[in-house]
Amino acid sequence: MTGDGKRPSVEARGISKAFGGVAALDAVDFEVRWSEVHALVGENGAGKTTLCNILAGIYRADAGQVIVDGTERDFRSPAHAIDAGVGMVHQHFRLVEPMTVAENIHLGWPETPGVVSQRALVDRTERFMSETGLHVDPTAKIWQLSVGEQQRVEILRVLARGARVLILDEPTAVLTAKEAEELFAVVRELAAGGLSVIFITHKLREVLAVSDRLTVLRHGIREITRPTEGATASEIARLMTGEERVLDVEHRVVTGDPALELRGVSALNDRGITALHDVDLTVRSGEILGIAGVSGNGQTELAEVICALRGLESGSITVDGSGTASMSVRAVTDLGVGHIPEDRIGTGMVLSASVKDNAVLHNYWTEQFAQGLTLNRQGVIDFARRLVEAARVQTRSIFATAGQLSGGNQQRLVARREALAADRLLVAAHPTRGLDVNAAQEVRSTILGKRDSGCAVLLISDDLDEVLLMSDRIAVIYEGRIMGVFEAAEADREHIGLLMGGHSMSEAG
Amino acid sequence: MTPLASIASAVLSVTPWRLERRLEVDARRAALTRIGGAVGAMIVVGILLLLTGRNAFWIFWQALDAIFGRQRGIEGVALRGIPILMTALGVALSLRMKVWNIGSDGQFLMGALAAVGVGIHMDGPGWLVLILMAVAATVAGAAWILVPALARAYWDVNEIITTLLLNFVALQLVTWSALGFWRDKEAAVIQSTREVPFTLPGLPGANSVTIALLVPLVIAAVLWWVFRSTTIGYEIDIIGGNPRAAGFAGIAVRRRILIVMLFTGAIAGLGGMLQLSAPGAQAMNAGFSAQFGLSGFIVAALAGASFWGVIGGGLFIASMFYAGIVLQTKGLSVYIIFAIYGVILTGIALGEIAARYRVVRRDAADESEATAGEAAAARKGADS
């Protein structure tokens, strides 16, 4: 029973929730209807996830009511919520990697038969997939699947338990652009079938692309609920941030000496497959060269070969005229190369170490801190204090572990640390990924500041808007090849989009 | 989470409380909670002894008197402490890099064996022989971990298995030397190697404790300084925390792992030589190591890889063992003594958990499956 398009499926009335005295939600009203995709929008920490955790029975509200399909509910666990038809797919998947898709869908499901063969599980799963129109190989092991497919398994698992209201928490954060498009199609399909889908995101383009209605939360207060039709990105952005902050970037044409030159560079990825084919690139001092491309087309390897974290198969790389082919990571860093790595937490930080120790990770060996063998402890402390202040990292103490920092603070710390280390060249890989609008603006200002002070910047991003906004020149990468390089003035969005999708110059032109 | 923390968290899961990781662990609290754990455990032991009709006050008095009442007691603790401290320091060093050297017993034995080899075959002034014995023991201890270290550093082979199994090989070699190639043919009854004719000089005023006691203290001081004030210590901590970040920072991770593992073996090997050069222990037999490596491992794990913690904890456990032997001679059953050891070690381990976690009241959120993802979601919620 899904009802018509007007009746609400889930209603939250006057929901309040505080954590340790800090209000995460303040008397929020929220209503979702059957057969609609409802985007829940807001910056990091606006209360989106908290609200949905209450709807899905993970938290209990301090005040307010949750009404599901006309009946007031008091969920004490996610199991209660799923019994009432509300299910959530979390940002971090809860799948058992060595087990098959069919096994994962049936795990912990009361309707799974007590004694059952693999064959029967697969049959049940296939029947179920044809009902929902979502398909994944039921015999595949989870670790063999792409992230997008794993997400589909999570959605299937929730739908299998009878969910009629599906909550997706930042579902595109982990997806490639193509996978995201596929997800949008699935979501539209589910809503057309009568379900409600709550789509949590802070990406404005997704809101406009996928939702029927939208609700904006800011600092735990509902700003607006309205139909998506007729809404503009800048209007939503203003409601999210409370002010319209558009970075005004002046693009330049720079003719100085090249700070970074790649000639015929080829390199392998971790699986031993060629990830970069014969790449030629030049970045001049005082300019930002943006690399546009869909994730997984060699960008990771490109950043790593430049910083000597990955070896070359052929070709040469020079920084300020010195060839780096046989240099160590440290020697390249000492040339004045900073690197904001793609995986800030996994590569750029040590969560168990203190903020202070993380602050000097990329320059502790320099004369500023190291005298022979000894490390100047006071110097490190002073440097860390200044860095934390400059990057506006909120931490109780520089001696506390980096693991206690929130994600945004961790990112700001790494971005500012690397910007300081970069005298000649800053390699920034997806520097604003996962950040809210304000934090992203701060990181972008930092990068622009480096450019203006004469540093060369290689900006890698799968967010084409960001590449177009920031870059003085743009190179498009596809399957490890550079498809073309453009001055910002002559860059055409559609043309670049075609090149990113693998259409050659002649086809695109 | 350590296994014990997992158990504690499971026990708490039926109560309205749960464990929460502390943001910062300060050294003073770490020491105090461990001491508190030991004292608490001794109170529990006392109550259990009283309940089973034993005079707990008399037993504790006997134990304290045995250790502190006479010089023999203090020296006995020091003698038992030296091998435990040496193996514990080696393990603690490896734990800073999150490498688990379970083979310190084997390295200790091989160090001692090398020292015996030098000691019984070399003529010369005593001081020179002793120095060469120490060098040989250090090299032998390092050599005994060389293969596991290479395998771990360059092929990512789990060091727990390789180092553990080499313990048994070392024990067989020692037995062979005692029964075979270095057997003392004159003392036909005792199956042991010939005796090294030299001992280290005694500490002033001591009857049996030699300058060997100073060695673990010096090593602890050096290690403490290395990790406090040098780039090498910083790099080892970074490798222990996140090897990928260490690579990102240009640290030669594999070479560091190799070198640090060799050092842990070298320290344990030197411990074998120190043990061998004490008066009355100058020959080796199959019982030469009373599982010192295992005790050292317990000490290092409980001390949380803090070097001064290793010294304090090692001396505490050595006194516990010494008191246990004295109490046995006073008629207390060996099984009760082992049970007391167990309760006290558990108390210290709980103190170690208390230093890193605190008990907080459970939120509604925790009533559901407390998975990492939800914890992350909860943190995210709490940040707003």
- Check pLDDT > 80 for residue A468: yes
Q: CATH topology for A248-336+424-509?
A: Rossmann fold (3.40.50)
Burial of A287 (0-12, 13-18, 19+ CB in 10 A): buried
With cut-offs at 50, 70 and 90, classify the pLDDT of residue A508. Answer: very low
More confident residue, A305 or A503: A305
Q: What is the pLDDT of residues A112-146, one digit of tens each?
A: 887 888 888 899 899 888 888 888 899 999 888 88
Interface test with B, best of A50, A350, A363 (most B CBs within 10 A): A350
Q: Domain containing B157: what range?
A: 55-331
**3-state DSSP: chain A helix, strand, coil percent, rounded to 5?**
35, 25, 40
> Min CA distance, A425 vs chain B (Å)?
16
Nearest-by-CA chain B residue for A24:
B384
- Check pLDDT > 50 for residue B118: yes
Nearest-by-CA chain A residue for B377:
A49
Burial of A290 (0-12, 13-18, 19+ CB in 10 A): buried
Amino acid at B369: E
Q: Which phi and psi angles does A176 have, rounded to 5°? A: -75, 165
Residues 6+ apart with CB under 8 A from B285: B174, B175, B178, B190, B191, B192, B193
Task: Give DSSP secondary structure letters for A37-82.
Answer: EEEEE--TTSSHHHHHHHHTTSS--SEEEEEETTEEE--SSHHHHH
With cut-offs at 50, 70 and 90, classify the pLDDT of residue A400. Answer: confident
Residue B2 lies in a domain: no
Tell me which residue of A175, A353, A397, A240 sits closest to B239, measured CA to CA: A353
* DSSP 3-state of A478: strand
Neighbouring C-beta atoms of residue B284, cutoff 10 Å: 28
Residues 6+ apart with CB under 8 A from A381: A356, A398
Rounded Cα gap, residues A457 and B266, in angstroms: 47
According to DSSP, the β-strands at A221-227 and A213-218 are antiparallel
CA-CA-CA-CA dihedral for B366, B368, B371, B372, to nearest 10: -50
CATH code of the region A8-241: 3.40.50.300
Rounded Cα gap, residues A126 and B210, in angstroms: 76
Mean pLDDT of A47-54: 90
CA B331 to chain centre: 29
> Min CA distance, B26 vs chain A (Å)?
10
Cβ distance B237 to A401 less than 8 Å, yes or no, reads: no
Burial of A108 (0-12, 13-18, 19+ CB in 10 A): exposed
Q: Which phi and psi angles does A507 have, rounded to 5°? A: -60, -45
Mean pLDDT of B6-29: 77
Q: Residue B178: which CATH number?
A: 1.10.3470
Mean pLDDT of A246-258: 77
Tell me which residue of B215, B246, B238, B229 sits closest to B314, measured CA to CA: B215
Give the pLDDT confidence score for residue A21 in this predicted structure: 59
- Check pLDDT > 60 for residue B258: yes
- Check pLDDT > 90 for residue A333: yes
Cβ distance A362 to B249 less than 8 Å, yes or no, reads: yes
Beta bridge pairs of residue B20: B358
* DSSP 3-state of A108: coil
A355-359, A435-439, A442-446: least confident range: A435-439
Task: Give DSSP secondary structure letters for B141-194.
Answer: HHHHHHHHHHHHHHH---HHHHHHHHHHHHHHHHHHHHHTTTB-SSS-SS--BP
Cβ distance B24 to A93 less than 8 Å, yes or no, reads: no
Q: What is the pLDDT of residues B160-209, one digit of tens each?
A: 999 999 999 999 998 888 888 888 777 666 678 888 888 889 999 888 89
Give the pLDDT confidence score for residue A178 in this predicted structure: 79
Q: Residue A226: enclosing H or E segment and its boundaries?
A: strand A221-227
- Check pLDDT > 60 for residue B377: no
Cβ distance B231 to A220 less than 8 Å, yes or no, reads: no
Helices (H), chain B: 3-12, 27-51, 56-68, 71-96, 104-121, 126-155, 159-179, 214-229, 231-241, 243-248, 253-276, 292-302, 307-329, 334-356, 372-383
DSSP letter for A197, please.
Answer: E
Beta bridge pairs of residue A426: A338, A457
With cut-offs at 50, 70 and 90, classify the pLDDT of residue A172. Answer: confident
Which of B230, B248, B384 is closest, CB to CB, to A50? B384
Q: Residue A169: enclosing H or E segment and its boundaries?
A: strand A165-169
Residue B350 lies in a domain: no
- Check pLDDT > 80 for residue A5: no
Please state whether A3 falls in left (phi above 0), alpha (psi between -120 and 50) or beta.
Answer: left
Q: Which phi and psi angles does A124 have, rounded to 5°? A: -55, -45
Beta bridge pairs of residue B19: B359
Residue B352 lies in a domain: no
Beta bridge pairs of residue B256: none
Mean pLDDT of A411-431: 92
Mean pLDDT of A6-13: 89
Structure-token match 């010369």, residue found: B124
Domain regions of chain A by residue span: 8-241, 248-336+424-509, 349-421
With cut-offs at 50, 70 and 90, classify the pLDDT of residue B145. Answer: very high
Give the pLDDT confidence score for residue B194 in this predicted structure: 83
Cβ distance A361 to B371 less than 8 Å, yes or no, reads: no
Give the pLDDT confidence score for residue B23 in this predicted structure: 67
Cβ distance A58 to B368 less than 8 Å, yes or no, reads: yes
Cβ distance B231 to A365 less than 8 Å, yes or no, reads: yes
CA A300 to chain centre: 15
Mean pLDDT of A201-226: 88
With cut-offs at 50, 70 and 90, classify the pLDDT of residue A257. Answer: confident
Helices (H), A307-352: 329-334, 344-348
Contact B365, B374 (CB under 8 A): yes
Contact A108, A78 (CB under 8 A): no
Beta bridge pairs of residue A322: A319
* DSSP 3-state of A97: coil
CA A351 to chain centre: 19
Domain count, chain B: 1
Q: Which residues of A touch B241 (CB under 8 A)?
A: 350-353
Cβ distance B231 to A374 less than 8 Å, yes or no, reads: yes
Amino acid at A367: E
* DSSP 3-state of A453: coil
A254-258, A351-355, A479-483, B108-112: least confident range: A254-258
Cβ distance B373 to A364 less than 8 Å, yes or no, reads: no
Q: Alpha carbon of B177 to those of B117, B195, B266, B293, B304: distances in Å?
A: 10, 12, 21, 20, 36
Which of A59, A309, A400 is closest, CB to CB, to B364? A59
Interface of B with A (CB under 8 A): 23-24, 228-234, 237-238, 240-242, 244-250, 363-365, 367-369, 371-374, 376-384
Structure-token match 């920490």, residue found: A45
Rounded Cα gap, residues A177 and B335, in angstroms: 66
* Distance between start and end Cα atoms, chain B: 27
Cβ distance A397 to B24 less than 8 Å, yes or no, reads: yes
Q: Alpha carbon of B247 to those of A421, B204, B228, B231: distances in Å?
A: 17, 49, 21, 15
Interface size between A and B, measured as CB pairs under 8 A: 137
- Check pLDDT > 50 for residue B368: no
Q: Is the ipTM value over 0.90, yes or no?
A: no
